[in-house]
Amino acid sequence: MLLAATCYTGSMKSSQKNQLAQSWVFTKMQGLGNDFVVLDGIRQSFSLRAEDCRQIADRHFGIGCDQILLVEPAISPDCDFRYRIFNADGSEVNQCGNGARCFAVFVQRSGLSRKNPLRVETRSGQMLLQIRPDGLVEVDMGVPILDPVAIPFHAAAPAIRYALPFRGQDLEIAAVSMGNPHLLLAVADCARAPVADWGPELEIHPAFPERCNVGFLEIADREHLHLRTWERGAGETLACGSNACAAVVAGRLWGQLAEAVQVTLPGGTLEIHWSGPGATLRMIGPAQVVFDGTWIPQGESL
């Protein structure tokens, strides 16, 4: 069932009219509990500032979300739309896998396009999004980036494992980019991983000049792993699609995972397919609408 909501910041005034002065229509969506506010930047005009993102993402005084997704006209002639992603702290990032699935469903549901698959452009390249007959969304995430310079990650040479200095010890990690940088750390028990303790510090580790998403992964067997993620600019989330992809890449490079892997996150399960270096990676998972609403930026009146 769809719910309608109007979100206000600031106090109500007696002079308010039924017509909204400056407002943005939005759709709240989620993919495995990783939640988003999606804004149509094609049929409505606005200027999205970092301050707006922080207000929208606030779970007490705003709508509440991990990230804000913006649908814009494509710049490249061979793409259907431009896909932009903003963290809860207002920073713009290159990639979001769970958001990409929500993007595809939003575009189709809102009537912006009936094309399936869709080709969209991001700050890190193009993506192919396809809604399957079973309702799940398949995303071609492109070729994982393993070159430290391109991740970016400070290392002398590419490797499947790196020793990362941290709190007086060396952590054995993998570093992967899925269009955004990821640090992957294997743990014996994902449920007991020090996500809240280590995550904030590892996110800003000097070895990752653009910060990173931190994945704590537990490999159950060759076809299953458990994962918790500390997301750059958002904190721990219930799911992170690009981090799930990066975790499978790490496990494959370590020789511990098969080509098709079920990744269990706190919010649910994703299916990841990757044959190895040089190949594109596919992610399959759900995307759901939560509700539609109208947002009035702080400082605006009715």
Where do the structural domains in the chain lie, given as residue ranges? Answer: 3-7+21-135+287-295, 162-279
Set 7, 65, 96, 212: catalytic member = 96
Q: Is 3-7+21-135+287-295's fold the same as 162-279's?
A: yes
Say whether pLDDT at 154 is over 60.
Answer: yes
Average pLDDT over residues 13-32: 69
Q: Are 63 and 7 in contact (CB under 8 A)?
A: yes
Model confidence pLDDT, tens digit, residues 243-252: 999 999 999 9
Helices 97-109 and 241-253, packing angle to 10 deg: 140
Question: What's the CATH superfamily of 162-279?
Answer: Diaminopimelate Epimerase; Chain A, domain 1 (3.10.310.10)
Percent of the chain with pLDDT over 70: 92
300 against 179, higher pLDDT: 179
Rg (CA), the chain: 19
Say whether pLDDT at 8 is over 90.
Answer: no
Average pLDDT over residues 152-165: 97
Say whether pLDDT at 302 is over 80.
Answer: no
Distances (CA, A) of 7 to 54, 104, 282, 294: 14, 25, 36, 6
Give the chain's length: 302
Say whether pLDDT at 140 is over 70.
Answer: yes
- Residue-level pLDDT at 2: 33
Q: Which residues contact 19 (CB under 8 A, 6 or more apart)?
A: 302
Average pLDDT over residues 1-23: 40
Q: Is-catalytic flag, 7?
A: no
Residue 131 CA to chain centroid, in angstroms? 18
Q: Are 175 and 151 in contact (CB under 8 A)?
A: yes
- Residue-level pLDDT at 213: 97
DSSP the chain: --EEEEE--S---TT--SS-SS-EEEEEEEETTEEEEEEESSSS-----HHHHHHHH-TTTS---SEEEEEEE-SSTT-SEEEEEEETTS-EES--HHHHHHHHHHHHHTTS---SSEEEEETTEEEEEEE-TTS-EEEE--PPB--TTTTT---SS--S-EEEEETTEEEEEEEEESSSEEEEEE-S-GGG--HHHHHHHHHT-TTSTT--EEEEEEEEETTEEEEEEEETTTEEES--HHHHHHHHHHHHHTT---SEEEEEETTEEEEEE--STTS--EEEE--EEEEEEEE--TT---
Give the fold, CATH level 3, of 3-7+21-135+287-295. Answer: Diaminopimelate Epimerase; Chain A, domain 1 (3.10.310)
Set 53, 190, 240, 245: catalytic member = 240
- Residue-level pLDDT at 190: 97
Average pLDDT over residues 103-124: 96
Average pLDDT over residues 30-38: 97
Q: Is-catalytic flag, 79?
A: no
Say whether pLDDT at 18 is over 50.
Answer: no
Model confidence pLDDT, tens digit, residues 40-85: 999 998 889 999 999 999 999 999 999 999 999 999 999 999 999 9
Of the pLDDT bands very low, low, confident and very high (cuts 50, 70, 90), residue 300 is low
- Residue-level pLDDT at 47: 86
Say whether pLDDT at 12 is over 60.
Answer: no
d(CA 159, CA 170) in angstroms, rounded, equals 15
Q: Are 109 and 248 in contact (CB under 8 A)?
A: no
Q: Are 202 and 230 in contact (CB under 8 A)?
A: yes
- Residue-level pLDDT at 299: 63
